[in-house]
Amino acid sequence: MNQLEQYFEQNQQRLMNKYQHYFDIYDRYFNSYRNKPITFVEIGVSHGGSLQMWKEYFGPEAIIWGIDIDPRCKSIEEDNIHILIGSQEDPEFLKTVFEKTGPIDILIDDGGHTQRQQRTSFECLFQYIKPNGIYLCEDMHTSYWNTYGGGHKRKGSFVEFTKNLIDQINAHHSEEASLQVNEFTRSANSIHFYDSVVVIEKKERPAPTSKMTGKHSFDTSPTKKNMVEKIEMHFLLKTNKVLQVLGMKGYAINRMISLCSKK
């Protein structure tokens, strides 16, 4: 049991509600930020118990911010805990968050949990996360709940949205116009999925490069294609381009790779 879970179990202060498996996830990604001058933001204040937990966990140098639509949450403010009142699905309000908090080291979305709220918050606030910072959205099981706008494989759910980010993080390798490098590709280092949680680690990332070191163990000089093989190669390339456009499975891929290895 880590210190976060210990605090939760012994909590006699403000009310909070957490799934038990979240604490290991938190500690895995947040431990290195402890006792440092960081800016931490949590969307969803409720009764303020988790903000007090974060204040204890991160130490006196951390500045803790909470965001909630309920104006009563303003009364929860205390030393090093600040509350902003507004809707997480209002882009105009979210633009003002950065003006108050400045660059953010860690952001947790534990707000209203609807698909629109989670997506709008990410689209507006991810840009304000510092390089080497973390964006964590929890309670993503609502992506499978109809009452929150979700459903298995439902278009527009936040889990389907974040699945597409897997493609985007690999966009440097795309051969198609439908997948191009964008700001997320350049600034996201990794995406981690857990039960009900996604963690996105931010880091400035140039296009990947590769190199070789060491010596060949055997002769790898490519042989030349004969005329039949050149015609076959041309046919396979054209065929697979068409299949790619149609979204269909590739044809004779191993043979095409073998032919590509020849001059």
Catalytic residue numbers read 113
DSSP for 25-38 reads HHHHHHGGGTTS--
Length of the chain: 263
Residue in 153, 142, 95, 98 with CA at minimum distance from that of residue 117: 142
Both tokens of 238, joined, read: 């054209």
| 183-204 core/surface letters (b: 16 or more CB in 10 A; e: else) | ebbebbeebeeeebbbbbbbee
Relative to beta strand 129-137, strand 197-202 is antiparallel
- Provide the terminal-to-terminal Cα distance of the chain, rounded to the nearest Å: 59
Question: For residues 128 and 126, what is the distance between their CA atoms, to the nearest angstrom?
Answer: 5
CB atoms within 10 A of CB 94: 21
